[in-house]
């Protein structure tokens, strides 16, 4: 009997000993259609045949649960929040000499993740996520962003390739090519600038940014402003150092560097906090910025979860994302701009704006008609205008879209009243925005596949009488009209007019 027991115990011990140690950071790289590299990151911790950790994505860090290692096979469940709704996804992989080979899409596609470090995940999944009480009061307004912020952001074009040199070249180009004069004054560094913290916990930039203060001084010297990026979680979306438990410290560092804009991205905060804690989590940094001694525009990036318009301004926010990340495609832009902004106009106004994400104009994935629709719709929505292309070398037709001063004037209208859809007939939509001084901006949009006539009727626009009309893309005055205004609109195109 004792030999049988010893054999069973020995087999169990052998199984435990032989279970592969998968602790570390595993990265799988794929290539996007535009040539940019995309990463899927697994941060794993294994104990015997058990596996835990995170799947790091651009919209948060999802938990890895029920993980098991059996021979050369790995299985686990990824649990994530998708706009506040729990989502569970099953993953399986094989341990190979090259890494972890995942079968995706029912086995039709393989994804190879290679280990890049043996460091265990920071802040391992707690037994229960933290729930913070609602803030007791509102963060005092900073008096900034009286009109929607305008500038440039590094992510859409450069992603991980952003550097001190790129930012300097972009800022210099914007100062010379008319972008600054058109109103684009913020030069914003997105993710991947972060290095490690020093012995006192102060955040340091990595080798791509040798002197952040000097970079800010350079940008300021051009008459522009510098923005930066962080996360309320332990890591950013790209896996770099976040601001968790260093909020006040980081805010003071940003102020000392001369930072003028902070994009604060939820991402790995999902490791620590329940979604219901978002208002308190973002208010903590909002208060830290208010106490840092420098005016810094505060941009909340949490994808519109938890009805952010209800509490974003109270958390100190000047801008808050209302959607998931934009892509340089007609389908993505149209869904985010047309469909996901309905009913949000009541939350926008001077100092606090809805943000359907950055501009993709000039990145090559859409036609000129589609890019004009993109620019027109964002301006009617009173959205921040953050260019995301390579502004160092823009063809004339892209410059003409991004620097159309008549369209920009709609976006920057001093009244700050966000527009809305007033009529829809299949793929044909009419949007309008009331402007200071009694004028009105009207967008006649054709989301269909064929050219079509689009009509804006006075009853839908809430106006009466005869109106003067200015075509903002043709830069031409039209004849006075009354009752309605019609235009022939290209597929996926727009005719945008100002009436008074």
- Please give the positions annotated as active site: 265, 325
Residues 6+ apart with CB under 8 A from 133: 280
Structure tokens at 117: 């470090």
3-state secondary structure of 93: strand
Task: Fill in the DSSP letter of residue 32.
Answer: -
Strand ranges (E), 184-242: 186-188, 194-197, 203-205, 225-230
Spatial contact of 368 and 401, defined as CB atoms under 8 Å apart: yes
Q: Could you tell me which residues are beta bridge partners of residue 226?
A: 187
Spatial contact of 353 and 382, defined as CB atoms under 8 Å apart: yes
Give the count of beta carbons closer than 10 Å to the beta carbon of residue 11. 10
CA dist., res. 69 & res. 64, Å (int): 13
Spatial contact of 457 and 414, defined as CB atoms under 8 Å apart: no
Dihedrals phi, psi of 27, to nearest 5 degrees:
-125, 130
Residue 36 burial (C-beta neighbours within 10 Å; 0-12, 13-18, 19+) = middle
Angle between helices 247-257 and 278-290 in degrees, nearest 10: 40
Task: Fill in the DSSP letter of residue 350.
Answer: T
CA dist., res. 193 & res. 195, Å (int): 7
């Amino acid at each position: 009997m004792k030999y049988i027991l010893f054999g069973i115990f020995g087999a169990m011990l052998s199984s435990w000993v032989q279970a592969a140690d998968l602790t570390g950071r595993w990265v799988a790289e794929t290539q996007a259609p535009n040539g940019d590299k995309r990463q899927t990151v697994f941060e794993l911790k294994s104990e015997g045949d058990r596996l835990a950790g995170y799947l790091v994505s651009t919209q948060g860090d999802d938990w890895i649960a029920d993980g098991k290692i059996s021979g050369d096979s790995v299985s686990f469940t990824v649990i994530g929040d998708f706009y506040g709704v729990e989502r569970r996804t099953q993953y399986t992989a094989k341990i190979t000499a090259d890494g972890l080979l995942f079968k995706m899409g029912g086995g039709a596609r393989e994804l190879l993740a290679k280990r890049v470090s043996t460091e265990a995940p920071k802040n391992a999944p707690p037994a229960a996520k933290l729930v913070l009480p609602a803030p007791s009061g509102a963060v005092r307004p900073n008096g900034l962003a009286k009109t929607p912020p305008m500038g440039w952001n590094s992510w859409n074009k450069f992603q991980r390739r952003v550097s001190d040199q790129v930012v300097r070249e972009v800022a210099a180009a914007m100062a010379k090519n008319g972008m600054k004069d058109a109103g684009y004054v913020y030069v914003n560094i997105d993710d991947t600038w972060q290095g490690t913290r020093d012995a006192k916990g102060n955040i340091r930039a990595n080798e791509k940014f040798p002197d952040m203060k000097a970079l800010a001084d350079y940008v300021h010297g051009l008459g522009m402003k510098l923005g930066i990026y962080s996360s309320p979680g332990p890591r950013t979306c790209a896996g770099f150092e976040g601001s968790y438990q260093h909020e006040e410290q980081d805010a003071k560092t940003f102020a000392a560097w001369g930072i003028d804009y902070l994009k604060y991205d939820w991402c790995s905060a999902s490791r620590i906090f329940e979604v219901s804690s978002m208002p308190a989590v973002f208010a903590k940094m909002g208060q830290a910025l208010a106490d840092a001694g420098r005016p810094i525009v505060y941009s909340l990036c949490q994808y519109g979860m938890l009805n952010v318009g209800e509490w974003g301004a109270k958390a100190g926010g000047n801008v808050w994302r209302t959607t998931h990340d934009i892509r340089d495609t007609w389908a993505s832009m149209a869904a985010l701009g047309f469909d996901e902004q309905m009913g949000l106009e009541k939350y926008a106004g001077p100092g606090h704006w809805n943000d359907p994400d950055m501009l993709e104009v000039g990145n090559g994935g859409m036609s000129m008609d589609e890019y004009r629709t993109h620019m027109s719709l964002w301006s009617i929505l009173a959205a921040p205008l953050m260019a995301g292309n390579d502004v160092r070398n823009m063809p004339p037709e892209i410059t003409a879209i991004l620097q159309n001063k008549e369209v920009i004037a709609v976006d920057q209208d001093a009244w700050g009243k966000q527009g809305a859809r007033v009529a829809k007939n299949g793929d044909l939509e009419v949007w309008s925005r009331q402007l200071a001084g009694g004028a009105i901006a009207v967008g006649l949009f054709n989301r269909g596949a064929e050219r079509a006539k689009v009509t804006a009727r006075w009853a839908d626009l809430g106006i009466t009488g005869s109106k003067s009309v200015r075509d903002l893309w043709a830069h031409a005055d039209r004849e006075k009209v009354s009752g309605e205004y019609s235009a022939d609109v290209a597929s996926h195109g727009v005719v945008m007019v100002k009436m008074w």
